[in-house]
Amino acid sequence: MAYRLERDVLGSVKVPKDAYYGSETQRAVENFRISGIPVEQDFIAAYAELKRAAAAANMAAGKLDARKGRAIARACTEIMKGRLREEFVVDVFQAGAGTSTNMNLNEVIANRAIEILGGRRGNYRIVHPNDDVNMSQSTNDTFHTVMHISSYRAVREKLLPAMEGLEKALGGKAKSFRHIIKTGRTHLQDAVPIRLGQEFSGYEGGVASVRKRVEESANHLLAIPLGGTAVGTGINAGIAYRDMAIRELNKSTGYKFRKSESIFTSMQNPISELALAGSLAESSIMLGKIANDFRLLASGPRTGIGELFLPEVQPGSSIMPGKVNPSMAEMLNMVCFQVIGNSESVRHAVGAGQLELNVFMPVIAYNLLFSIRILSNGIAAFRMKCVDGIKANEVRTSRNLEMDISRVTALNPVIGYENAAKIARKAYLTGKSVREIALEEGVADGKEIDRYLDPERMV
């Protein structure tokens, strides 16, 4: 491989000749051969968007030469559109604060801008990664800001629509299943009757509840520390830079980002990210419960509960012919486990911040964006390939309901709890229905027993 020689404060570095990145990125590649996982492309695109807004603000303030600024802005736009994707090579587990990722952006943007201006890559006299591309910025305020931009956008454009779609699908099933009365269950034991539609309305409401929590926590990401530079004081940024940069950012994103009420608090403590991670974990707990219920209610097909038919999406066994598993519910369970673990990583990273900066932002950003991506995709797939096609096994629900011993609860007002308990016990021991035992015991006439044991009356 042909190389070009670049120099930095630590000495000379051999960089691949055709690379758009430079010495600091090359050092990071050599130092952080950790996971093989590159920084999320959505994060890189958002960082380029911020760099473009910063260049516009610096040009408006008269600090950045317009010719350089326009070339920088063009390079940023290309990166936002997915160009030069292979140039972003830094591992997600890297030096603290995300300096390596910031410099990866600065170097790629600078070298592309140099090329646009007719120069040769590595000739930083034309456009400099630090002096020009990183003007008025620090990793400490920009990386944090990009976490907010990329996470907020992913929540608004991917996760919330997926959650709303699932909520609507569950609500549709709640309506279509309203006529079906089935055995309720508590402690995994038979309980008094419930409508299948009522059960599904509980799932619908659960998704609605956590969706609102996600939306509320994401809204806190609109407050950004842009312009705080190294420690929040705004050194080297200029008085008007912050407002102009945020205005440019809002023009580009279409969202309403604003400066943090306390930029020092924001830079010291990624509390907004912690809140979002918490709401993602809460969502996963709720969604995991729904997936578990579907697996239980569809268990069988002959020897389980078997009250739901889940869509059959693939064969379920390499050894047992004809076996079909609840694959989409199992997938969602695993996604939820991963998101809960990611959220725990975020919690520890946020708690490990010290003094003026939390340096663990790279792992916070990675876990947030990874969680939002897999949760968005997992929910969407679960809805399309499971919820939309769910059918009720009305024969099984009717048979189970007939043999539900807990229906004796409806006789309490007529015969008292202790007599009802005796009937329930006898029904259990004999395998007969509550109605049959009540008639045998003569606790009331047949019409009255039927009236009290009427499932419609009980739900």
Q: What span, in angstroms and rounded, lies between the C-alpha atoms of 97 and 360?
A: 6
Picking from 135, 170, 205, the residue at the C-terminal end of a domain is: 135
State whether 209 and 275 are in the same domain.
yes
Q: Is 187 in the active site? A: yes
Q: What span, in angstroms and rounded, lies between the C-alpha atoms of 69 and 76?
A: 10
- Tokens 């007719």 label which residue? 118
Q: If pLDDT is split at 50, 70 and 90, which confidence band does 446 have? A: confident
Question: Is residue 397 assigned to a domain?
Answer: no
- As for how many domains the chain has, the answer is 3
pLDDT confidence of residue 148: 98
State whether 235 and 377 are in the same domain.
yes
For residues 347, 349, 351 and 357, what is the CA-based torsion angle, rounded to 10 degrees?
-140
Question: Is residue 90 assigned to a domain?
Answer: yes
Residue of 232, 20, 188 whose CA lies nearest to 115: 20
State whether 414 and 304 are in the same domain.
no
State whether 186 and 318 are in the same domain.
yes
Q: What span, in angstroms and rounded, lies between the C-alpha atoms of 381 and 332?
A: 9
Question: Is residue 448 assigned to a domain?
Answer: yes
- Domain with 331, as residue range(s), is 141-392
Q: Is 317 in the active site? A: yes
pLDDT confidence of residue 101: 98
State whether 63 and 83 are in the same domain.
yes
Question: Which one of the listed residues 187, 279, 343, 406 is annotated catalytic?
Answer: 187
Question: Is residue 398 assigned to a domain?
Answer: no
Mean pLDDT, the chain, rounded, equals 96
pLDDT in tens, 95-108: 999 999 999 999 99
State whether 266 and 184 are in the same domain.
yes
Residue of 446, 438, 369 whose CA lies nearest to 409: 438
State whether 130 and 145 are in the same domain.
no
pLDDT in tens, 239-249: 899 999 999 99
pLDDT confidence of residue 350: 97
Question: Which one of the listed residues 35, 209, 262, 317 is annotated catalytic?
Answer: 317
State whether 230 and 376 are in the same domain.
yes
The CATH number for 182's domain is 1.20.200.10
Question: Is the whole-model pTM more than 0.85?
Answer: yes
The CATH number for 454's domain is 1.10.40.30
State whether 366 and 411 are in the same domain.
no
pLDDT confidence of residue 238: 87
pLDDT at 73 over 90: yes
pLDDT confidence of residue 37: 97
pLDDT in tens, 322-360: 999 999 999 999 999 999 999 999 999 999 999 999 999
Interstrand relation of 258-259 and 223-224 (parallel, antiparallel or unpaired): parallel
State whether 269 and 153 are in the same domain.
yes
What percentage of the chain carries pLDDT values higher than 90?
97
Question: Is residue 13 assigned to a domain?
Answer: yes
As given in the structure block, the two tokens for residue 196 are 């299948």
